[in-house]
Chain A
Amino acid sequence: MSDVLELEDLEDLECELEAADAKAGRTARRRTAIHDIEPGAAWNDVEHAILTRRSIRKFKGRQVPAHMIRRILEMGRFAPSQGNCQPWSFVVVRDKAMIAEMEQYCVAVCKNMTASVDYTNYPPGSEQRAAIMENTQKLNRASPNSFHPVPMTAIKSIANGRFAVFHKAPTVILILVEERGVGVPEVDIGVTGTNIVLAAQSLGLGTCWVGFSRLLSSNAALLEKLGVAPPFEIAEAICVGYPIGNPTQQTVSRQTHQIVWWEGGEKQILY
């Protein structure tokens, strides 16, 4: 046998171990069970949690017990990450006054933003509109993702007081990103957050991601209070609470995206 273990050797080894297990009456101990499911089988628990999760933006007043928050953060801790660098850290805010302070600051930023960039406040053809639009389109071109029409609509609603940034949730988890992570640390933030959100869903808690939490980054005093300091910065937030209504009455429909499927020397396009 060479120094390098070939795949076939591994398969042989596995068979030997399985045989030894069977002889000794031991149940398999080396890997989790493989569930071969029939086409069209019902959703399992994980699939069910994924499909019934909705972003929750209205919460009951009741606080979530601390151990539940610790429990879902624990799931975030075990998320995969590039080079296992785990480039995250959490700030849990459960103080009404603190959340209100965060909310107020974000609202103020949104008010400033709409005042300076939202040309839809002025009727088509007006001078103000033309003046603002020229500036806005420059900004829009420079950072097209931030100035996408969807967040701009939300920013306007936040400025008008029609939409809350942290949704008056009893608990807000800020996810900080360690900027010196491996590769693209922001991707790892998405992965750890997804673990947290799905774990919460499986426990009957409602969550909502809050990308607007990044607005807090321009408030040095608040950052200090929250313990956010370089090389960490706020990447995202997740609101947690008990949902109002029954947001999992039924699953929703979503876009079907192109899937290129290469198999047997042939390329197919699926949806």
Chain B
Amino acid sequence: MNDAIVKKAVVDADHLPIWDDPREAIYRKVTIDLDKCDGCKLCVVVCPANILELFGPKDNLKARLKTDFTGCMSCNNCYAVCAGQGIFATEPYDFAGYYEQKRISEFAFPRNF
């Protein structure tokens, strides 16, 4: 059995998270391995949250997040299109109070049992 991060069962269900407070609306950090990124821009194009962009000189473009506080919903569409596996979100988004997710553990790739 995997070491699950089982969330506490009782939350402050009455509290509605403030949408732009990073402590309450916890979107995912996206990890980008610049060595593996060749600046192909595919992730920028497919990201539904529209939070990725390219930076750097024309002959050495790399992907990055537009801002620190993003609307990343950890769909990993960016990872799905990246030939070099240079970008990925590894944990689910979560919210404080009413929307806090339960019965959720860490991410896993498809497991062929």
Binding site for B on A (CB under 8 A): 39-43, 51, 54-58, 118-120, 137, 140-141, 144, 148-150, 152-154, 157, 162-163, 244-258, 268-271
Contact = CB atoms under 8 A, between A and B. Distances in A.
Contacts of B19: 118-120, 149, 152-153
B16 A140 contact: yes
Nearest to B82: A249
Nearest to A167: B48
Contacts of B33: none
Contact of A149 (B25, B42, B80): B25
Nearest to B90: A253
Contacts of A149: 17, 19, 25, 95, 99
A120 B97 CA distance: 18
Interface of B: 1-2, 4, 6, 16-17, 19-20, 25, 42, 45-46, 48-50, 71, 73, 75-77, 79-83, 85, 88, 90, 92-93, 95, 98-99, 103-110, 112-113
The B interface, classified by DSSP as helix, strand, loop or mixed, is loop
Contacts of A141: 16
Contacts of A271: 1-2, 4, 105, 108
Given A42-B112, A54-B80, A256 B16 contact: no
Contacts of B77: 54-55, 247, 252
B99 to A, nearest CB: 6
Contact of A249 (B2, B25, B81, B99): B81
A152 B104 CA distance: 23
A269 B1 contact: yes
A210 to B, nearest CB: 11
